[in-house]
Amino acid sequence: MRLLNIIFLFIVLHFFVSACTTTKKEWGSKEEKNSFEHTFVESGFASFYGKGFAGRPTASGKIYDPGLLTAASKTLPLHSRVMVKDVKTGRFVVVTINDRGPYVSGRVIDLSVAAAKKLGIMRKGVTKVEVFLVKN
């Protein structure tokens, strides 16, 4: 009988400790992705702006700031918000379209430096992505 009490105590303790812990929610997790509605727009390659564009005006009239989560698209409306998902890694970033481009064949979006860092493509420079329009 004493052994059953000890086993029961360990089971209760295990559930109590498990209930008190939290899981770390990483950027681009499925929980975060499902927190907003989005519609598939296009797929292709994403790259990011070079250093020489910092401080220059964008098509929206705003000055390009590499630290903001922005991007350039040839077709998406200015000021729209899109989710850019790396097809290989599943990581994603939500950016605001504030410029036109890229003007390289096969590329569908140019990301700011901050967005490229969040997506994890700074070393690669270019990656295959899917672009989704985010509904506010």
Domains contained in the chain, number: 1
The mean pLDDT value for 67-86 works out to 96
In a domain, 126, yes or no: yes
Peptide bond before residue 66 is cis, with ω within 30 degrees of 0:
no
User: 127 vs 3, 48, 95, CA distance in Å?
Assistant: 58, 10, 16
CATH number at residue 77: 2.40.40.10
Residue 98's contacts (CB-CB under 8 Å, 6 or more residues apart) are 58, 59, 60, 62, 64, 70, 71, 72, 78, 79
pLDDT of residue 13: 53
Q: Give domain status of residue 31, yes or no.
A: yes
62 domain-assigned: yes
d(CA 127, CA 136): 26
| pLDDT for residue 117 is more than 60 | yes
Whether the predicted pLDDT of 17 surpasses 80: no
In a domain, 33, yes or no: yes
Residue 12 counted as domain residue: no
- Residue 43 is predicted with a pLDDT of 94
Q: What is the pLDDT of residue 25?
A: 41
pLDDT at 122: 94
Percent of the chain with pLDDT over 70: 74
Over residues 79-97, the pLDDT tens digits come to: 999 999 999 999 999 999 9
Q: Looking at residue 2, what is its pLDDT? A: 75
What average pLDDT does range 4-29 have in this prediction? 53
What domain range includes position 68? 25-135
Is residue 18 a part of any domain in this protein? no
- Residue 3 inside a domain? The answer is no
